[in-house]
Chain A
């Protein structure tokens, strides 16, 4: 029988871990969405290798944008590797980190890509690295985790393909809703899968959804416009 005083001492020192407790491996940064923060127990991780499973165009950038903006302080860069298209300057000027802080790289070769990820993460001047449609192996993942920790950076693997099981810091999965997005935590270090949580775009991104009565007819069928 362990005396109560010893148990409480151990618990205070953080030597006892309980299954229902959340123990995020990295400090959380406000994601800009209170519901998501609650689900994650603080916010999106400050450093690590994370995954966002989402089809390009459903709002995956808007989901991460408050977090990216908050992280892109001083002269640090946000690196976008192999995104579905060229980043459009006006969008980033209006909503996100200044275009001068956004670097877009197109790297078709896989060896170059892994090398580049490692360099960017450990340099200490990239606040986040977003890479699309990249499958990495466990050993690469571990290496990149170390690099991200050294450079206080976060790698996000974005894409809708299924990845092999790798030791990720956090894995999110998103699916579209009407004017919103539904997010699951599918896997995370120091916690259990959770969700879903529904995020409505209207509160945060009113520009994207003009009020009804605008010149256009929301929801009108494409075919009616003569296609």
Chain B
């Protein structure tokens, strides 16, 4: 066992396990051969096992829910598993759609022993709630054959030697296994006894190639796994739903994954996009953002919950995905003691922005312009000592004045803006009306035809 350098993980029920768990009997059927490929525990209790025909399965279990086998779904789930395992193991190779080969040798120096390494891997897989079969061997293909023959979720890695293993568990097509069987070759050990040149006369190139690789005579081509640069998770439901609260059950777990993902990289992300996929309509994205970047799962949950509460679904959705924008590295100036300070303000603003449109927000910003309605952000605004007396509130649109007023102070003439398309030439006064309101009024000096001359522009409040 010491020379084993590859650990192979086989996931026999990946398509069933990558979707929300169901109490009802559920099976995955191969659309070509109409044979059961995967079944859940409820289905197995009624006799629906892998390999039996679809018709027999239906007779055994009348309430059986059936899904077609979809390879791309399994490949996606495999990538997600590889992502979680990447924290435990550095070199991962994908054997799509159902397997992962992990290179043990480099990791042994880190873990010390194979048992410690296997324990870490096993804990990770148990957390992901997948059924797995595992085995070790000197090359990945041999490990794959051994793993396929292993018992599911077994705690130890001990397995019979490859030579005693039947060829049924190999990657060879069924037809070729049958042909080998006819000439008396039943196990991998039988294959080893024969010379490959003799076999190549009767079998084609791909069979010989596989035999060479599995016996360790030639190298195996591997598809190595590299983690994505951003966090993305796609999840499909068992059935279409128009109740967005279903997502709320899934989100905490997903956001926890996101938090782990970001914390491991010392990153924060500024925006999340939750996309709902509909059958009869284009997908609907929900975007929430945090200006300063955030990794905390509970804060993201709160922001997404605000969006979900507002959501009115016109069509049912069958799947959803969560994508985080590429993270930013966390700045080191996080203050341990600043509990209620700027952080709380940012959290509040993020929360408000999740519900209110951006047009609802307004920050008064000083402008380097004498026209009161100009609010361009400008850093070169005059110093406080030279500030003129201005009203607390300025009307967005000046209103024509009606009724008599008495003038308290003024005039202050403002003539500006002849260089751009908004010239202003006005005399401003502080005035008081009959109701005692202190108003900022002006007389328009650029007279148009029949336009009123006096306007109300602000309240001194």
Contact = CB atoms under 8 A, between A and B. Distances in A.
Interface of A: 55-62, 74-77, 83-94, 99-100, 102-107, 112, 115-116, 119-120, 123-126, 175-177, 207-210, 214-223, 225-227
Contacts of A209: 408-409
A92 B392 contact: yes
**Most chain B CB neighbours (cut-off 10 Å) among A85, A112, A176:** A85
Contacts of B411: 215-216
A215 B392 CA distance: 23
Contact of B351 (A104, A119, A210): A119
Contact of B401 (A77, A94, A210, A227): A227
B449 interface: no
B23 interface: no
Contacts of A225: 407, 429, 443
Contacts of A102: 363-364
Given A84-B459, A89-B375, A124-B344, A59 B384 contact: no
B407 A220 contact: yes
Interface residues of B, number: 57
A57 B461 contact: yes
A60 B461 contact: yes
Contact of B439 (A57, A89, A90, A226): A57
Main secondary structure of the interface of B (DSSP, over half): mixed
Contact of A94 (B375, B387, B394): B387
B225 interface: no
Nearest to A56: B459
A110 to B, nearest CB: 13
Top 4 A-B pairs ranked by shortest CB distance? A176-B436, A57-B437, A85-B393, A61-B461
Contact of A93 (B359, B384, B404): B384
Nearest to A126: B348
Main SS of chain A's interface residues? mixed
B406 A119 contact: no
Interface stretch (B62-70, B247-255, B365-373): B365-373
18 contacts: A56-B461, A58-B438, A60-B461, A61-B393, A91-B390, A91-B392, A102-B364, A104-B363, A112-B356, A119-B351, A124-B344, A125-B340, A176-B436, A208-B408, A209-B409, A216-B410, A216-B411, A218-B408
B431 A222 contact: yes
Interface string B301-329: 00000000000000000000000000000
B133 to A, nearest CB: 50
Interface in B319-359: 340-342, 344-345, 347-348, 351-352, 355-356, 359
B405 interface: yes
Looking at B348, B351, B391, B395, the one whose CB has the most chain A CB atoms below 10 A away is B348
Contacts, number: 185
B419 interface: no
Contacts of B347: 123
Contacts of B396: 85-86
B406 A219 contact: yes
A90 B387 contact: yes
Contacts of B194: none
Contacts of A90: 366, 387-388, 390
B208 to A, nearest CB: 69
A94 B237 CA distance: 58
Given A88-B391, A88-B394, A92-B392, A75 B362 contact: no
Contact of A221 (B384, B404, B439): B404
A210 B409 contact: yes
B392 A106 contact: no
Contacts of A177: 436
B435 interface: yes
A88 B406 contact: no
B361 interface: yes
Given A74-B341, A88-B391, A119-B351, 14 more contacts: A59-B461, A75-B345, A85-B459, A86-B394, A87-B364, A87-B394, A89-B365, A99-B366, A126-B348, A208-B408, A210-B409, A219-B406, A219-B408, A220-B407
B55 interface: no
A88 B362 contact: no
A106 B355 contact: no
Given A57-B437, A58-B437, A218 B409 contact: yes
Contacts of B408: 208-209, 216, 218-219
Contacts of A83: 393
A112 B355 contact: yes
Contact of B348 (A88, A120, A176, A218): A120
B390 A208 contact: no
B393 A86 contact: yes
B167 interface: no
Interface in B20-49: none
B342 A75 contact: yes
A114 to B, nearest CB: 12
B401 A89 contact: no
B454 interface: yes
B372 A88 contact: yes
A93 B401 CA distance: 28
Contacts of A77: 345, 348
A76 B338 CA distance: 13
Q: Which of B384, B388, B406, B453 has the most CB of A within 10 A?
A: B406
A155 to B, nearest CB: 15
Nearest to B373: A86
B460 interface: yes
Given A59-B438, A93-B384, A225-B443, A218 B407 contact: yes
B238 to A, nearest CB: 33
B461 to A, nearest CB: 4
B364 A89 contact: yes
Contacts of B461: 56-62, 84
B361 A223 contact: no
Which of A91, A115, A177 counts the most chain B CB atoms within 10 A?
A: A91
